[in-house]
Amino acid sequence: QVQLVQSGAEVKEPGASVKVSCKASEYPFSSFAIHWVRQAPGQRLEWMGWINAGNGNTKYSQKFQGRIAITRDTSADTAYLDLTSLNSEDTAVYYCARSPFDLRWLDPWGHGTLVTVSS
Partner 1 sequence: SYELTQPPSVSVSPGQTASITCSGDKLGEKYGCWYQQKPGQSPVLVIYQDNKRPSGIPERFSGSNSGNTATLTISGTQAVDEADYYCQAWDRSTGVFGGGTRLTVL
Residues in the chain: 119
Among 70, 83, 110, 115, binds partner 1 (CB under 8 A): 110
Yes or no: say if 48 and 81 are a contact pair by the CB < 8 Å rule.
Answer: yes
- Contact flag: residue 59 with partner 1 (CB under 8 A): yes
In the complex with partner 1, the residue whose CB is nearer, 44 or 89, is: 44
- Contact flag: residue 104 with partner 1 (CB under 8 A): yes
Burial class (CB in 10 A: 0-12, 13-18, 19+), 13: exposed
Among 50, 64, 80, 94, binds partner 1 (CB under 8 A): 50
Yes or no: say if 95 and 38 are a contact pair by the CB < 8 Å rule.
Answer: yes
Amino acid at 108: P
Amino acid at 18: V
- State the binding string over 25-44 for partner 1 (x if CB under 8 A, else -): ----------x-x------x
Q: Which residues bind partner 1 (CB under 8 A)?
A: 35, 37, 44-47, 50, 59, 61-62, 95, 97, 103-112
